[in-house]
Amino acid sequence: MRTLTVPAVTDSLAAVNELLADLIGAAGMSEDTAYRLRLATEELFVNIVRHGYGPDDRGGRVTIEADLTADEVWVRLIDTAPPFDPFDAPEPTGLDLPLQDREPGSLGLYLTRHSVDAASHEYVDGANRTTVVIRRETETQRG
């Protein structure tokens, strides 16, 4: 299992992406599947930084755990911000409207939910534990 603990600041995304690159390489993911995993992980991480801890909390940390099995690749983000289940957030409205006519917000979590094969959240012992899973591709699917 790969584990990384970083300060809850957007500058930490470089280290998070290094961990993801290692995991993606080990899993032999296609570009499309790797993109979906990075999108979901980065969106969840940025939400933790901006909305979980907020701009005034300079001591927040996020732990990323990640691994692969024969069937799947998973990433778990662990933080001690206030409890929040990103998969319980309401679906954004107006998705059929042009961008300039839409209300801002909720699109990142919507994209996260729809880019992974499974997702879960639990709040245990004062920590959010948010996990995303992508099924591993077969050789035929990778092309």
Q: What is the 3-state secondary structure (H, E, C) of the chain?
A: CEEEEEECCHHHHHHHHHHHHHHHHHHCCCHHHHHHHHHHHHHHHHHHHHHHHCCCCCCCEEEEEEEECCCEEEEEEEECCCCCCCCCCCCCCCCCCCHHHCCCCCHHHHHHHHHCCEEEEEEECCEEEEEEEEECCCHHHHC
Q: What pLDDT is stored for residue 53 in this prediction? A: 94
CATH number for 84: 3.30.565.10
Q: Quote the domain boundaries for residue 36.
A: 2-142
How many structural domains comprise the chain?
1
pLDDT tens sequence across 16-62: 999 999 999 999 999 999 999 999 999 999 999 999 998 777 789 99
What is the mean predicted confidence (pLDDT) over 83-100? 78
- Does position 140 have pLDDT exceeding 50, yes or no? no
Band of pLDDT at residue 89, cut at 50, 70 and 90: confident
Question: Which is more confidently placed, 85 or 105?
Answer: 85
